[in-house]
A and B are shown apart, each in its own frame.
Chain A
Amino acid sequence: DTGVSQDPRHKITKRGQNVTFRCDPISEHNRLYWYRQTLGQGPEFLTYFQNEAQLEKSRLLSDRFSAERPKGSFSTLEIQRTEQGDSAMYLCATFLRGGKAGANVLTFGAGSRLTVL
């Protein structure tokens, strides 16, 4: 395990369909973040987990969005009834707090690009 893994890398869907993205974190990273990035913008925070607990949600996360991290390892981000405005890159990042090598740095995955037609 050498990095944060996201799946799928690309998803094209029709408006109104549901989509789910998965993030597999770096082992031992107990914090997991979801960001969204639209064209011409920097990443925007959506939500984060510490282990299995979802500790904060952005106002960007409408009720059509739900994120889980059931066992404190991988996480899923589901978007229900997708809209064209949901088209974006969805980034997962993980974090280990502490004194180990590589700690205290937010490490990003390659992202899942969503296109809603």
Chain B
Amino acid sequence: AQRVTQPEKLLSVFKGAPVELKCNYSYSGSPELFWYVQYSRQRLQLLLRHISRESIKGFTADLNKGETSFHLKKPFAQEEDSAMYYCALRSGGSNYKLTFGKGTLLTVNP
């Protein structure tokens, strides 16, 4: 069975500081990993996916199959980055069902 672990419930940094939100997964096959973000009073939305290999809002994430990790990073955090971040895994097959972690609440202080 697949599992996604986000070890930090809360993460607080100062504006301009680097930020890393950790995500580890457990899955025997070849996974597809995503980061979703939920800003205050907004719906859950896709931030980025590993197959795109792109930077969104300054965030990047690299899939490390050896360490089964997909950590989200940003070199200089901004106050508007404050939100709930969820890591999610799609197991193989055609159903596109996602398994989510419990989320990390990021607070960027001025």
A-side residues, CB < 8 A to B, are 3, 31, 33, 40-45, 48, 55-56, 91, 95, 97, 104-111
Cross-chain pair count, CB within 8 angstroms = 45
Q: How far is the CB of B46 from chain A (nearest CB, A)?
A: 5
B102 is contacted by which of A33, A42, A107, A109 (Cβ under 8 Å)?
Answer: A42
A45 is contacted by which of B46, B49, B99, B101 (Cβ under 8 Å)?
Answer: B99
Q: Are A48 and B97 in contact (CB-based, < 8 A)? A: yes
Q: Which of B1-60 contact A (CB under 8 A)?
A: 4, 9, 43-46, 49
Indicate the size class of the contact surface on chain B. Answer: 10 to 19
By a CB distance below 8 angstroms, the chain B residues around A33 are 97
Q: Are B86 and A42 in contact (CB-based, < 8 A)? A: yes
By a CB distance below 8 angstroms, the chain A residues around B4 are 42
